[in-house]
Structure 1
Amino acid sequence: MNLQPPTQTPPRFWTLVMLTALAPLTLNMILPSLPAIADEFGVSYATANLALAGYLGLTAFIQIIAGPLSDRFGRRPVVLVALAIFALASGLCYTATSFPLFLTARLMQGAIISCFAMTLAITRDTHAREEAAARIGLLAMSMAIAPMLGPMVGGAVEAAFGWRAIFLGYGLAGVGLFVWCWTDLGETASREGGGFRDMAKSFRKLLRLPRFWGYAVTMMFSTGTFFIFLAGAPLVAGQVFGLGPAMVGVAVGSVTLGFLMGSFLSSRLSVRAGVTRMMLAGRVVATTGVAVGLGLTFALGPHLPVVFVATLFVGAGNGLTMPNSHAGAMSVAPELAGSIAGITGALTVAAGGGLSWLTGVLMTPARATEVWLAILLGACLIGLSAATWLRQDEKKTAPEGAA
């Protein structure tokens, strides 16, 4: 089967939007159905939760593998193979009669994360650095909207048709996107390098570049604030402020709303302002919001508007930072854009998991708000330091008047 088109034909933008949105929908759309899944297979809720935790952990490894493969063989084959595996795995989840089979198929669904990494690499393949950042800003908006809609849609589908219908929907989406990408997704990677040995040498060289790690650290501790937020928000909103489940969901949406706003601004401003300037602006916005929120909390005690306006700034800062840091990182070595998208994705998942765990360990009901905001501020400051260094390094190395 020939997976390569005869000519290089960049995909439509909406193709990338659909590929971007499917990954977060696959992660969290089943969240309301975990109790029903546990009951049907006769396992504990903690065991059923492996369908989320195990899936998330595996995606880090998949991105590391998919990125270099796309640099060697092209973006198109990786996307098509990932969609085929995803559709097959969804069908197995739909028909599974035992939990081990269900969990194995659920983990196989993690192949879809390759498509998210590929959308970043394809965008960089087809646009200059600042233009790529603007386009990624638009893609990031779908990454924000999809997680908000996923649990609501999943809950409605389960209530109407049962939890298995969610996986039937996944399977149909996978088949439909496979057919669509077969006709619309042309190859965009240059693939000018040699074999795996040459690519491994280039990859090792990349990992020794300080600028790559500047972008990576900025991404790790920017996205890390989102994981810190998710780990602490239910405790703060529920136990400190006494919000009910519905209002906890509204409060948690503050960071997503901020991310939408920041991503929209990135799509409009990145070409004019430049990647590193936008990254730095995002880190300043996030750090300032959390610092003011923490200061007011120490001075006046916990207040709901203060806390969740501060986290709104965190989301807005991430929306300004992340599209530009993705575009900047892939510009360090454009010929390795797929590998860079994969490894930075894996690093952000690993950092997010670690920061989420740290938040859970350090937070206590007695001082939950202060500790939570302090952890957020620490992550913001590390990201700000990395973005500041990148901005200063770019100004030193750029031609006079170009920075």
Structure 2
Amino acid sequence: MNIFLPSLPNMTEHFRTDYRLMQLSVALYLGVNAVIQILVGPVADQMGRRPVILWGLALFCLATLGCLLAPSVEVFLAFRMAQAVVAVGMVLSRAAIRDLYPQDKAASMIGYVTMGMAVVPMIGPAVGGILDELFGWKANFWLLLLLGLAAWALVRIDFGETARKSGLTLAQQFREYPELLRSPRFWGYSLASGMSAGAFFAYLGGAPFVGTEVFGMSPGELGFYFGAPAVGYFLGNFISGRFSVRFGVNRMVMWGCWANGLGITASLLIMLSGGGSAITFFGFMTFVGLGNGMSIPNATAGAMSVRPHLAGTASGLSGAIMLGGGAGLSALAGTLLTPETGALPLLWLMLATAALAVAAISVVIRRERQLGL
């Protein structure tokens, strides 16, 4: 998702287009990703996890090749949207964990798994910036193609089936959605995860502009600083893996949402005081990553545990809610920023989403007290 972000200015020049159009490579990807997540959960509950992941990774590799060969920005964006099929790996890896473990243990295991996953966004922008300076922006997509092929081979060799097939037709499987949609707890967990992550997705949409236009960074410098949230995300996931069983998912989500909001607030106050710099702006983004690392694994486990027999469907739908909101926030962040506004509109947008995340998990906690859970 983020390895090529330091290359956005050079990609804009290559395709002779506007930055705001090129920035849609993030928002459109997230939007299609959200739609795919709605579809893939029921399909995997009906067919199993393994075959759906294999097909998704194969199609991702074909779409990545299309990005490399695209003659125009419109064709590039079309194949970039097609790359979103790789969402099957994110959705179904979480569902596979929930297949094997109860709620709090699943949250712990998801935390450890996503701690490993955090290494990639941590180093991705730095690697992407270096590749861009050495070989041009297409080097990032060649790397994505090689990684996609390697992931397909690993799944083919090593990923065993974890789900018991539902025995329902796809039509029957999709008719299970209302059972989730009628659950206030499912909505609370999904929105807590979605709004907490929304601050990060807004960052994805706006930070490349802030780095290059406000702070005058080169692609290599931007790539180095851009990975700051991933450092916090790594730590947050470790905390989730270590403490979710002890403290429960609700406390972990609440603490994560507060960490997210407090980091943004600190950055905003420094910027308003006139003391903002690249170090303070990107440095406080580690708290956004820390909060996400605590809230997302636990909120995801909570959403999948509302109706355990619909774990794949719940994983897909909660992920779709998160990424659908993320797509809108990423696009909005790109439109709000100008060299004159600086980073302030982005920080206000991120703070608003962080506050909504705290409100969402508060609703879950209150609902569970009412139900005596």
- The normalised TM-score by structure 1 is 0.78
Structure 1 residue identity aligned to 2:294: L
Identity %: 35
Aligned match of 1:206:
180
Q: Does 1:282 align with 2:256?
A: yes
Aligned match of 1:254:
228
Structure 2 residue identity aligned to 1:205: E
Q: Give 2:308's match in structure 1, choosing from 329, 334, 349.
A: 334
Report the CA distance shift for 1:317/1:335 in structure 2 as closer, same or farther (over 3 A).
same
The whole-number CA distance in structure 1 between the counterparts of 2:22 and 2:213 is: 26
The whole-number CA distance in structure 1 between the counterparts of 2:138 and 2:206 is: 31
Aligned match of 2:105:
131
The whole-number CA distance in structure 2 between the counterparts of 1:258 and 1:183 is: 32
Q: Does 1:316 align with 2:290?
A: yes
Aligned match of 1:63:
37
Report the CA distance shift for 1:37/1:132 in structure 2 as closer, same or farther (over 3 A).
same
Report the CA distance shift for 1:337/1:236 in structure 2 as closer, same or farther (over 3 A).
same
Q: Which secondary structure does the structure 1 equivalent of 2:118 belong to?
A: helix
- 1:251 CA displacement: 4.2
What do the CA deviations read for 1:321-354 (whole angstroms, capped 9, x no partner)?
1110111111111222222222222222221222
Aligned match of 2:3:
28
Q: Give 1:244's match in structure 2, choosing from 176, 197, 217.
A: 217
Q: Which secondary structure does the structure 2 equivalent of 1:28 belong to?
A: coil
Q: Give 1:145's match in structure 2, choosing from 115, 119, 142.
A: 119
Aligned match of 1:301:
274
- 1:118 CA displacement: 0.9
- 1:384 CA displacement: 0.4
Aligned pairs for 1:176-255 (under 5 A) are 176-234=150-208, 242=215, 244-245=217-218, 247-255=221-229
What do the CA deviations read for 1:302-333 (whole angstroms, capped 9, x no partner)?
33365555433222111111110111111111
The whole-number CA distance in structure 1 between the counterparts of 2:93 and 2:291 is: 22
- The normalised TM-score by structure 2 is 0.84
User: RCO greater where, 1 or 2, for CA within 8 Å and sep 6 or more?
Assistant: 2
Aligned partners of 1:60 and 1:347 also within 8 Å: yes
Aligned partners of 2:126 and 2:224 also within 8 Å: no
Structure 2 residue identity aligned to 1:303: G
- 1:355 CA displacement: 2.2
- 1:60 CA displacement: 2.0
- 1:210 CA displacement: 0.6
Range that drifts further, 326-335 or 362-371? 362-371
- 1:56 CA displacement: 3.6
Aligned pairs for 1:150-161 (under 5 A) are 150-154=124-128
- 1:221 CA displacement: 0.8
The whole-number CA distance in structure 2 between the counterparts of 1:162 and 1:297 is: 33
Report the CA distance shift for 1:367/1:102 in structure 2 as closer, same or farther (over 3 A).
closer
Unaligned runs of 5+ in 2: none
Aligned match of 1:268:
242
The whole-number CA distance in structure 2 between the counterparts of 1:155 and 1:127 is: 39
The whole-number CA distance in structure 2 between the counterparts of 1:362 and 1:34 is: 17
Structure 1 residue identity aligned to 2:196: S
Aligned match of 2:57:
83
Report the CA distance shift for 1:286/1:200 in structure 2 as closer, same or farther (over 3 A).
same
- 1:90 CA displacement: 4.0
Range that drifts further, 229-238 or 108-117? 229-238
The whole-number CA distance in structure 1 between the counterparts of 2:266 and 2:78 is: 46
The whole-number CA distance in structure 1 between the counterparts of 2:180 and 2:223 is: 41
RMSD across aligned C-alpha pairs, in angstroms? 3.3
The whole-number CA distance in structure 2 between the counterparts of 1:324 and 1:239 is: 36
What do the CA deviations read for 1:269-290 (whole angstroms, capped 9, x no partner)?
1111110110011112222333
The whole-number CA distance in structure 2 between the counterparts of 1:314 and 1:144 is: 13
- 1:88 CA displacement: 3.6
Report the CA distance shift for 1:122/1:224 in structure 2 as closer, same or farther (over 3 A).
same
Report the CA distance shift for 1:283/1:143 in structure 2 as closer, same or farther (over 3 A).
same
The whole-number CA distance in structure 2 between the counterparts of 1:296 and 1:98 is: 44
What do the CA deviations read for 1:67-102 (whole angstroms, capped 9, x no partner)?
1110111111101111222334445555x4744766
Range that drifts further, 273-282 or 342-351? 342-351
